[in-house]
Amino acid sequence: MSSSLRLEKVTADNVEAACRLKVRPDQEEFVDPVAWSLAEAYARPEVAWPRLIFDGEQLVGFVMGFFMVRFNPDDPDDTPRCGIWRLNIAADQQGRGYGRFAVESVCEEVRGRGQNRVTVTWAPGERGPERFYLRLGFRPTGEKSGDQVVGELALTGRRDGFQTGPAEVRRLTTEDWRTFRDVRLAALADAPEAFSSSLGREQAYDEARWRAGMLPERGVKAVAVVDGRVAGVVGGWVPEGRGGAVEVYGMWVDPAARGAGIGALLVEEVVAWAAEHGHRRIQLWVVDGNDGADRLYRRLGFEATGESEPHTNDPGLHERLMVRMLAARPQVHHGT
């Protein structure tokens, strides 16, 4: 990527060139033209952040961020969001890293404004930008904005040793048993009431037991990593007697990394694994009183079923079953 890349404000000197910038013809149905974006920025200057992308003296693209916008203003739990409103890379300049540079620039602006997640929407389609955003770490939230998919990228602040950086979700193999053991024990120590097992029980497991629990036939386990440190963990499996449903379990985020959307990324990783294996029903259990988890899961498309059962470690508590049904998704190929 060129060292001469930069963003510039739209001015009277460059606005005509900006309006002439065109994406490939097969991409025009997925992104509005720059002139339309500039009209939106004029109408909503308090939230819009339009910038031109230059490589040296060559105009190569346009990006427009947005800041502190409520997607669902009638929902009291819907917090203001920041993100990417529009991204247009010139047809003859694609595949050179300019899109990545634009996204990273918006992320830096979001960080500078004290926010910890970046939101983007994309239209599903054969030549749409979904693969591009997924490669950069965005994950679908399960929401829709009109007919567009909503995706998020989690950022973290400089808190308790976690440096600023996006979260990367990694699926684990049996060779990662130590990684899983360490984060699982940390989770049990931090929030014993959230799990059906206990710290004392799992501290006694030997290597063979940890490895056995990570075999492919036991489902999927994944961690979120921020700047080389494990920030969260989740598991998914197919319990007997549930009609082939995939159950999300053991989800935990390090307290130092909470509030950055990592929980949503972890849940969506299990959802993606379930879809890859042909499962359409996703379920999980929520302990009564865990309102934060309940809000997260509802935002990700889970709904209460009315089914509940006593908590394994504390019969005075109850866990409620929530379910999300997956719809078949069209195959999408990167087109920007």
Give CA–CA dist 37/101, Å, rounded.
19
Residue-wise pLDDT for 223-251, tens only, equals: 999 878 898 999 999 998 888 899 999 99
pLDDT per residue as tens digits for the range 199-217: 889 999 999 999 999 999 9
Average pLDDT, the chain: 86
* Cα–Cα distance measured from residue 49 to residue 55, given in angstroms and rounded to the nearest whole number: 19
DSSP class of 276: H
N-to-C CA span, the chain: 16
Instruction: Give the whole-angstrom CA distance, residue 88 versus residue 9.
Output: 15
In the three-class reduction of DSSP (H, G, I as helix; E, B as strand; rest coil), residue 267 is classed as: helix
Q: Are strands 117-122 and 81-89 parallel, antiparallel or unpaired?
A: parallel
SS3 label, residue 195 = coil
Largest CA distance in the chain: 70
H or E segment to which residue 185 belongs? helix 177-190
Whether pLDDT at 71 is above 50: yes
Burial code of 169-182, b = ≥16 C-beta within 10 A, e = fewer?
Answer: beebeeebbebbbe
CA distance 158 to 164: 6
Domains and CATH numbers, the chain: 5-115 (3.40.630.30), 165-325 (3.40.630.30)
pLDDT of residue 328 exceeding 80, the answer is no
Structure token pair of residue 254: 């390090």
pLDDT per residue as tens digits for the range 255-293? 777 777 888 899 999 999 999 999 999 999 998 877 778
d(C-alpha 262, C-alpha 300), whole Å? 13
Pairing relationship of beta strands 48-55 and 139-145 according to DSSP bridges: unpaired
pLDDT computed for residue 161 by the predictor: 44
The confidence band for 165, taking pLDDT boundaries of 50, 70 and 90, is low
What pTM was estimated for this model as a whole?
0.54
Q: In this structure, what is the dihedral angle of CA atoms 5, 11, 16, 17, given to the nearest 10 degrees?
A: -10
Q: Work out whether strand 318-325 and strand 303-310 pair parallel, antiparallel, or are unpaired.
A: antiparallel
| Among 258, 262, 266, 303, CA closest to 284 | 303
Residue 258 structure tokens: 């909470």
Confidence of residue 3 (pLDDT cuts 50, 70, 90): low
pLDDT interval class at 108 (50, 70, 90): confident
Residue 75, pLDDT > 70, answer yes
